[in-house]
Structure 1
Amino acid sequence: MLRNELTDRQRQIVLMRYYEEQRPIDIARQLGVAPSTVTRSLQRSRCRIYRCMRFYFDYRRMRMGEDD
């Protein structure tokens, strides 16, 4: 589900930040971009993930309510 919500670059940055626990400045150096680009990408990625998860849980809650 989330795989389709993020671009390849966003996914790469999210994995580097949260899975590999790298600092944004180190990610920026490795990718050859400005640290602000990494920070902005992380911010946008978190928003997309939040919206996707909110939709999923709202949908589940609605479906569970229909079964009562």
Structure 2
Amino acid sequence: MRDRLIHFSDLNSDKICFERSIMNGESNSENRKKALKVLMNVIENDLTDRQRHCVLEYYFNHKKMKTIASELGVTPPVVTRHIQMGAAKLYKITKHYM
């Protein structure tokens, strides 16, 4: 079975954490807080500066890749690569905590 990347957003975070919180006897909001804390810790400490910038701008500030590329003075495919590599690193590290 292949692992798949899960994106947290306000729309799906309740659904993602619900089953796990039932199994652990924790409330869903506690689980969400833990997940966000782990995620932000990994973003701050384990991503490169470019990966961090691209991931935060794309996922948290909802900027388009073209906009991020023009801010950084690079092409959109470079931004895509930074986001993909950053997301892969996030998944690899955080899957042990979730």
TM-score w.r.t. the length of structure 1 is: 0.76
The gaps in structure 1 that reach 5 residues or longer are 58-68
- Larger proportion of helix: 1
| Greater C-alpha Rg | 1
Is structure 2 residue 90 aligned with structure 1 residue 56?
A: no
Alignment identity in percent? Answer: 39
Any idea what the Cα deviations from partners look like across 1:7-59, whole Å, max 9, x if unmatched? 111111111111111100110011100100000000001100000111223xx
What's 2:85 paired with? 44
- For 2:64, the aligned partner's letter is R
Give the Cα separation in 2 of the matches to 1:19 and 1:55: 23
TM-score, scaled to structure 2: 0.54
Q: Aligned-pair RMSD on alpha carbons?
A: 1.1
For structure 2, which runs of at least 5 residues remain unmatched after alignment?
A: 1-40
- After superposing on structure 2, the runs of 4+ consecutive aligned residues of structure 1 that deviate more than 2 Å are none
Instruction: Determine which structure has greater relative contact order: mean sequence separation of CA pairs < 8 Å that are 6+ residues apart, divided by chain length.
Output: 1
Partner of 2:56: 15
